[in-house]
Copies of this chain bind each other. A is one copy, B any other.
């Protein structure tokens, strides 16, 4: 078993406790329902690995890992309300099972509980950690707002898109690693390097996610093929194609966005292929991966200690068909 898988199991055991009071059940039942959902627990694992890169995992780091998972779930509950999503990983979303008001409040208490865990760490760095969560949290909110703004805006540039996914996805992965590194005693340069590793890893991951939607093998990817295409979701592929495809292909893309026939996914994928945007996404992913590995390389700890993070990166980024 790889190190990140061991930590994942340990975290699951550690996290599997009562996070909230019993009453009012109408509120905390909804919060617990969300946490039962499972998920990959990537952020706590990054946090634990970020600590372990620099020294033995501290008791504090488990609290930080819990805070990060609670924070992430806060964003998911609120995002699902905004996106009016009925399902998350095959289960009803919180607002669908309860109602929007309860889900809104369950998200709020989840965020308060994240701070409560973070606040109980060593006074030597607690303010640094909270400052970092505040900054990251603001950026995640900005990313979600831009994502919503972009859905209403026909034309956005690739660099605007990349900025949005950096905020919405990458910075929390980066912050998770940095928080673990802070508890582990990393110096400022190493903290910046591990943050950059996480940021680029996050960008590579999201670009790959976009690519997999059109080109992945649904049996290994675990999502319905072409879900983004059906929903006209702004992805790396769509934004890049609207920027760089031939005038004829651009025209067809615009028409396809008003079309909902059964061959929509196939036709859009064909244009993506023909315009070379599938290839461009792979190149972008490789570029960010390369940048991530370069940052990891430069961290001032012996190379063999970096294996666990490298293994996790490979696991996350080489899941294509």
Evaluate contact between B138 and A109: CB separation under 8 angstroms.
yes
Is there an interface contact between A82 and B101, defined as CB atoms closer than 8 Å? yes
A35 interface contact, C-beta 8 A? no
Q: Copy number in this complex?
A: 2
The stretch of A122-130, A283-291, A302-310 in contact with B is: A122-130
CB pair A105 B127 closer than 8 Å: no
- How distant is the Cα of A123 from the Cα of B123 in the complex, in angstroms? 7
A residues 257-309 with Cβ under 8 Å of B?
Answer: none
Given contacts A127-B119, A134-B112, contact A145 B26 (CB under 8 A): yes
User: Chain A: residues with CB nearer than 8 A to chain B?
Assistant: 21, 23-24, 26-27, 78, 81-82, 100-102, 104-105, 108-109, 111-113, 115-116, 119-120, 123, 126-127, 130-131, 134, 137-138, 141-142, 144-146, 148-149
Supply 23 A–B pairs (Cβ within 8 Å), ascending by A: A21-B138, A24-B146, A24-B149, A26-B149, A27-B141, A27-B142, A27-B145, A81-B101, A82-B104, A101-B148, A105-B144, A108-B111, A108-B141, A109-B141, A112-B138, A113-B138, A115-B130, A116-B131, A119-B130, A119-B131, A119-B134, A123-B123, A126-B126
